[in-house]
Amino acid sequence: MDSADARPDEVVVVVLGGCRYALPLPSVAEVGRPPALTRVPGLPEWVAGVTNWRGRVLGVIDVRALLAADPAPLDRGGRLVVLNRGAVALGLLTEGVEGTAVVDAASLEPPLAHLPTSAGALLTGQVTDAGGPVGLLDLEAVFGLADALPRPRRASA
């Protein structure tokens, strides 16, 4: 790793399944209360549904099951984190948002080896701060979950 890769990055620390995870701050568009969701039949458990968010349809995911955590109902502290990657927006349900932090890429450790494959695939690594371990979510992998969704069948003419 060269010195250009070792710069500190600002992240938003969220709680998923009682554990702390970090999202890159530049990808977080906003944080709000979880809206009413409409489930979409035939999609995996981690797709929470869709909602009308600021006049547009927003897909919402709940990755807690993929992280081997119990996807218990959210309480009053639950938050929706809207993530952006280019022109694509995605909602992520969380149990709460702790705030922002600075992560030094030089202190990044690999994800724990005992994690289930689905969890390890969503993490770029972890760091430890005064509050304990923080897993860094790989947003490319999170947005890439859409590739695992079943494709709609098109009616043949």
Give domain limits for the chain.
Answer: 8-146
Q: For residue range 2-23, list pLDDT tens digits in order.
A: 434 445 689 999 999 999 999 9
* pTM of the entire predicted model: 0.86
DSSP state letters, 29-85 = EEEE-----B--TTS-TTEEEEEEETTEEEEEE-TTTTTT---PPP-TT-EEEEEEE
What are residue 109's DSSP bridge partners?
126
- The residue-averaged pLDDT of 125-136 equals 88
Predicted local confidence at residue 30, as pLDDT: 95
Fold exhibited by the domain 8-146: OB fold (Dihydrolipoamide Acetyltransferase, E2P) (2.40.50)
Q: For residue range 101-117, list pLDDT tens digits in order.
A: 998 878 888 877 667 77
> Which strand (E) or helix (H) includes residue 118?
helix 117-120
- The residue-averaged pLDDT of 117-142 equals 88
How far apart (Å, rounded) are the C-alpha atoms in residues 96 and 13?
9
Which of 122, 64, 68, 50 has its CA nearest to residue 94? 64
